[in-house]
Amino acid sequence: MRQGVEFVSVSKVFGGHVAVNGINFHIPEGSFFSLLGPSGCGKSTTLRMLAGFEDPDQGEIWIGDQRADGVPAYRRPTNMVFQRWALFPHMTVHENVAFGPSVRGARGGELNRQVAEALELVGLGAYGARKPRQLSGGQMQRVALARALVNKPKVLLLDEPLGALDLKLRMQMQIELKRLQESVGATFVYVTHDQSEALTMSDNIAIMSEGSIHQIGSPHEVYDAPKTRFVATFLGNANALPVDVESVAGDTAAVSLKGLRFAASVGAAPTNGKGDIVLRYEAIRIGAAAAAMDVRTKARIREVVFSGSAIDYVLETEQGIELTAQQPHIADEKPHERGALVDIGWQARAARLFPQK
Amino acid sequence: MTRNWPHIRHIALALFCAAGAIYIVAPLAIVVLNSFSSTAYNVFPPEGYSLRWYENLAQQGAFLGAAVRSVILATLATAIALVIGTLSAYALVKYRLRGRDIVKAFLMAPVVLPSIVLGVALFIFFVRVGIAYSYPGLLLTHVLVVTPFVIAITAAGFSNFDWSTEEAAMDLGAGPIRTFFRVVLPQIRAGVLTAGLFAWITSFDQVETTLFLVRPGDNTLPIEMFLYLQKWQDPTIAALSSLLILLAVAIVIVMSIAGRNRTPDGLVMQGKETSK
Amino acid sequence: MSVQTLPTDVIAPRSRFWQKLRPWLLLLPAFALMTFLFVLPIGAFLEYSVYSYERGRLVEDFTFKTYLLFLTDPYYHAIIFDTLKMAAITSFVSLIIGYPLAYGLWRCRWPALQRWYGLIIFSPILVSVVVRSYGWSVLLSDQGAVNWTLMKLGAIREPLELVYNLTGVVISLCHVFLPLVVFPIFSSLVRIDPALREAAMDLGAGWWTTFRRVIFPQSLPGVVSALQISFTLALGALVTPAVLGGGRVLVLPLQVYRATSDINWPVASVGGLVLLVMALITVALCNRLLAYSES
């Protein structure tokens, strides 16, 4: 008995360009699943194939225990929240939300009840008579949500819905979306290029690039244990260091760069003796904290960049390696100064080794 | 740097435009004036004023019959052309068809052709096929003449259309037909109405295409007038023309009220631009 | 909570073929209309062009006689030449008049006035060409308002012959074409980025230089469009030359009209084809010009 959503070897080609290249994944029913990747990676195409606006050229799509590919969009148990909301401009908010149920035959009192319930759910109970052009971006967002959720879909699809909102509103909506998903219980499939959205809301994330899925896992898994160089560099901020690989033994490797020899964890083993080390900014400790780290060396501070909640230090190690380190900014603690020579260090497992690009 | 007096070229342009307005209105104004003249011959200024030509007009049943025929024909032709044209415009705008430009040029072809050529060709063809002087032939001819304009104007009306609303409707469970009527059509309503108005007037005013297709004695109004003018030039025709001008003025007033928050750019007949 | 389920009858993937077919199905009515009422009649035209008309009767035998007639008879040469001449003069004059009007409409500073002026320019389209031609025949006649005004002003002593000749036809045709000429030019002017004008002025260009080097070149696509419209319409004008030409302006459409009435369909067909070819050449040339002007 299948559950949730499943993609089996799905491919899609546009003209000569392979947008989606044989992807496989399973989304557990009732979870919050994100497709994360840069522009053009195929995440929107994947979502649209799930919605029914595109047909896969190869492969199968399953929603629950029924095959979905080949079924037109208006017959699928999915509903979508569009990027620019796609509200019907000639209808009021009430009529917009009522559209889905009315197509399925709801009328009169029953219809009004469903609409009212959906609008209450998104906090817009009093806005029924307004037209879309009278609403703010955030309000339109919620109407789009209500219009989709009123149909009680099995799967709710969200296509970068928060992109047009300002930062504060976006963060507020992220919390609301997560809350909604938990109370409604439907499977949410969320497409975005913004990693903080994916990391804060998702139960599972699929990282995509150039039509393929690089890794699927929980936010912690993909962040701390990236399996490809792309995933490692896409999430967070990281240093990418080209190294010589001296030996590989299972999960660990010994590498060297400009005379600095250290251990690293293996993300993917290189084959030709050369590799790239991905080391996150926040993994490098400076000063007293460096003493407890596996890998230790000294470095001179070249630049200090203050960005509010964190401070970035651009460093050059004794061996001449350029690194950037990030420390949280704690008020009252003095930041290190430009030109200072400091101890730096990191844990071996924080450095992930991948084949060279 | 501010000026107290408008620059000479601004004055010159304003004068030219005023002269242009006079040029545009003059023949229509003179027709109205003439319709009240008391003499049968045209002279300016009129020697006297009278309503006799309107009385004369009222007695000419031929014109009334022709007017009714024109109205019915224009309405039917417009209705058919709106259906064919809107569907075609929708297909052309929505789908990235291979050879879309060629298809568009093909559908616009009747506009490029001189009307008399089309009229004569259709006449000869109808005779050949045995349906000369038939009403369906006449009706379809008007549909043919008018449809390219409907396509062009309606297609232009899609320029601000948000296609994601169509996807949203289908996502919410509406099939293609229901989506078209509940979501697409209401949004392009303005373009369709403009196209319909333009189509109706174009059909009503057709002369060259219709000359040989009407059954003798069953003329449309412009043809009745054209034939009358070839024989007589008395102001009866001026009286009739004045009524038609009045109709045009009424349409202009209605349009200006309806388009109150639109600039002339919105009134531009994009249809004329696509005869390429 | 009740949840939608997939319809179990729709399991097979929808045929890609139907998806591709849908737009062509939508276009089918238009295609049918065009085929039966445009392509086939032109075919009939072609057919009759290779027949001849002898001694007042139609002879349906294959011959190139009628084509030869058109190519060799100076009478027809004159008609074709007159038609082209009239179309050229009319187009030129309507562009000369229309461009400043479009420019004035564009630069008008009061939106209400702009709207009203636009409506005034546009409104003659709503009135039949028969009415307009009639109006000009009255206006331009010897006792008409134009002559009366000029004589009252002392500019002339004898009435000018403005009707029943080429002059009257040109004046009236320009009137008919004016809205169709003003609006393409206006459209292209409106599309000009206002920042361009400001940039030119900022760089020190006066009005004329700005106009000559920035505004006019940018409005050329509209001018070419207007030229195409007025020229092709002038080629096919029938009503105006008939009403205002007084039998002296023998353009090809009139000839075709007469030939058809006389059942001389071969001549009508060849004449019609000549008009068609001239119109197509105009469109092709203007498309070239348009591409050149947009670069």
Q: Write down the pLDDT at residue B85.
A: 95
pLDDT at position B270 over 80: no
Q: Which fold has domain B34-273?
A: MetI-like fold (1.10.3720)
Residue range A102-116: mean pLDDT, rounded: 93
ipTM, interface predicted TM-score of the complex:
0.82
A171-181 tens-digit pLDDT: 889 999 999 99
A284-301 tens-digit pLDDT: 999 888 899 999 999 999
CATH of C61-127+170-294, one of 1.10.3720.10, 1.10.10.410, 1.20.1260.120, 3.20.20.70: 1.10.3720.10
First to last CA, chain C: 61
Superfamily the domain A5-229 falls into: P-loop containing nucleotide triphosphate hydrolases (3.40.50.300)
The nearest alpha carbon in chain B to A53 belongs to B167
As a whole number of Å, the CA-based R_g of chain C is 26
| C neighbours by CB contacts (3+ pairs under 8 Å) | A, B
pLDDT band with cut points at 50, 70 and 90 for residue A342: very high
* Residues on chain C touching B263 (C-beta within 8 angstroms): 111, 114-115
Q: Write down the pLDDT at residue B4.
A: 65
CB contact (8 A) between residue A70 and residue C11: yes
Q: Which of A8-17, A92-101, B122-131 has the highest mean pLDDT?
A: A92-101
Nearest Cβ partner of B167 from A53, A75, A147?
A53
C36-81 tens-digit pLDDT: 999 999 998 888 888 888 777 777 778 888 888 888 889 999 999 9
B86-114 tens-digit pLDDT: 999 999 999 888 888 889 989 988 888 88
The nearest alpha carbon in chain A to C1 belongs to A152
Beta bridge partners of A17: A14
**Strand spans (E) along chain A:** 5-14, 17-27, 32-36, 58-63, 66-67, 78-81, 155-159, 187-192, 204-209, 212-217, 238-249, 252-257, 260-266, 274-280, 285-286, 295-306, 310-317, 322-328, 341-346, 351-355
Domain boundaries, chain A: 5-229, 237-355
Residue range B32-53: mean pLDDT, rounded: 82
Q: How far apart are CA B54 and CA B236, in angstroms?
A: 7
Is it true that domain A237-355 has CATH number 3.30.70.260? Answer: no
Neighbours of A166 (CB within 10 A): 10
pLDDT band with cut points at 50, 70 and 90 for residue B259: low
What is the pLDDT of chain B when averaged over all its residues?
86
Map tokens 């008409």 to a residue. C144
The strand pair at A204-209 and A32-36 is best described as parallel
Could you write out the DSSP letters of every residue in A33-91? EEEE--TTSSHHHHHHHHHTSS--SEEEEEETTEE-TTS-GGGSSEEEE-TT----TTS
Q: Write down the pLDDT at residue C81.
A: 92
Q: How far apart are CA A111 and CA A169, in angstroms?
A: 31
* Residues on chain A touching C2 (C-beta within 8 angstroms): 152
Nearest Cβ partner of B165 from A74, A79, A86?
A86
Residue range A126-131: mean pLDDT, rounded: 92
Least confident of A220-229, B182-191, B216-225, C198-207: C198-207
Residue range B136-165: mean pLDDT, rounded: 93
CB contact (8 A) between residue C3 and residue A153: yes
CB contact (8 A) between residue A89 and residue B171: no
Q: Write down the pLDDT at residue C15.
A: 55
The strand pair at A322-328 and A310-317 is best described as antiparallel
* Residues on chain B touching C263 (C-beta within 8 angstroms): none
Q: How far apart are CA A111 and CA A106, in angstroms?
A: 5
Domain boundaries, chain C: 61-127+170-294
CB contact (8 A) between residue B112 and residue C129: no
Q: Write down the pLDDT at residue C278.
A: 92
Percent of chain C with pLDDT over 90: 28
Q: Write down the pLDDT at residue C174.
A: 93
Residue range B44-65: mean pLDDT, rounded: 83
pLDDT at position C17 over 80: no
Q: How far is B242 from chain C (nearest CA, A)?
A: 9
pLDDT at position A274 over 50: yes
* Residues on chain B touching C221 (C-beta within 8 angstroms): none
Least confident of A204-208, B59-63, B240-244, C101-105: B59-63
Neighbours of B75 (CB within 10 A): 14
Nearest Cβ partner of C126 from B201, B222, B237?
B201
Kindly tell me the sign of the dihedral angle through the C-alpha atoms of B253, B257, B258, B261: positive
Q: How far apart are CA A293 and CA A277, in angstroms?
A: 17
Kindly tell me the sign of the dihedral angle through the C-alpha atoms of B36, B39, B40, B41: negative
CB contact (8 A) between residue C30 and residue B88: yes
The interface residues of chain B toward chain C in range 61-80, judged by CB-CB distance below 8 A, are none
CB contact (8 A) between residue A70 and residue C1: no
Nearest Cβ partner of C4 from A70, A77, A184?
A77
In one-letter notation, the amino acid at residue C233 is L
* Residues on chain B touching C41 (C-beta within 8 angstroms): 118, 121-122, 124-125
Map tokens 């929107």 to a residue. A44
Domain boundaries, chain B: 34-273
Q: What are phi and psi of A43, to 5 degrees?
A: -70, -40
CB contact (8 A) between residue B107 and residue C30: yes
Q: Which of A23-37, B23-37, C166-180, C187-201 has the highest mean pLDDT?
A: A23-37
Q: Write down the pLDDT at residue B271.
A: 36
pLDDT at position C158 over 90: no
Q: Using alpha carbons, select from C175, C150, C164, C177 the residue that is nearest to residue C236.
A: C177
B98 Cβ contact list (under 8 Å, min separation 6): none
* Residues on chain B touching C162 (C-beta within 8 angstroms): none
Beta bridge partners of A314: A303, A324
Could you write out the DSSP letters of every residue in C181-211? HHHHHHHHHHTS-HHHHHHHHHTT--HHHHI
pLDDT at position A167 over 90: no
Neighbours of A127 (CB within 10 A): 19
Q: How far is A100 from chain B (nearest CA, A)?
A: 5
